[in-house]
Amino acid sequence: MASNEEILTGLAEIVNEITGVPAADVQLDKSFTDDLDIDSLSMIEVVVGAEEKFGVKIPEDEVKNLATVGDAVTYIKNASPEA
């Protein structure tokens, strides 16, 4: 099972690839929209990248609940097949 730190690092890499936001700026308390300036289209790309990287499924209706990076890390950890 991936640790929170591993998930955070993976998410930071995905966000950086898609949006150009420096990976170091992707922290647990950061809001995807307010702090990282990620729009809804880019957020879908981030979700797809996370699903592929971590082997989880994030339903479309759950994406709106992932307001912060910490929310996404927790969701991915709980949705992991090994959990």
Quickly name the fold that domain 4-79 has.
Answer: 1.10.1200
Mean pLDDT of 32-41: 96
Higher pLDDT, 2 or 43: 43
Do residues 55 and 80 make contact, with C-beta atoms less than 8 angstroms apart?
A: yes
Residue 69 has pLDDT above 90, yes or no: yes
| CA–CA dist 39, 32 (Å, integer) | 8
pLDDT digits (tens, 9 = 90+) for 15-30: 999 999 999 999 999 9
Does the pTM surpass 0.85? The reply is yes
**Domain residue limits, the chain:** 4-79
Instruction: Quote the Cα angle for 56-36-73, to 5°.
Output: 25
The owner of tokens 């099972």 is: 1
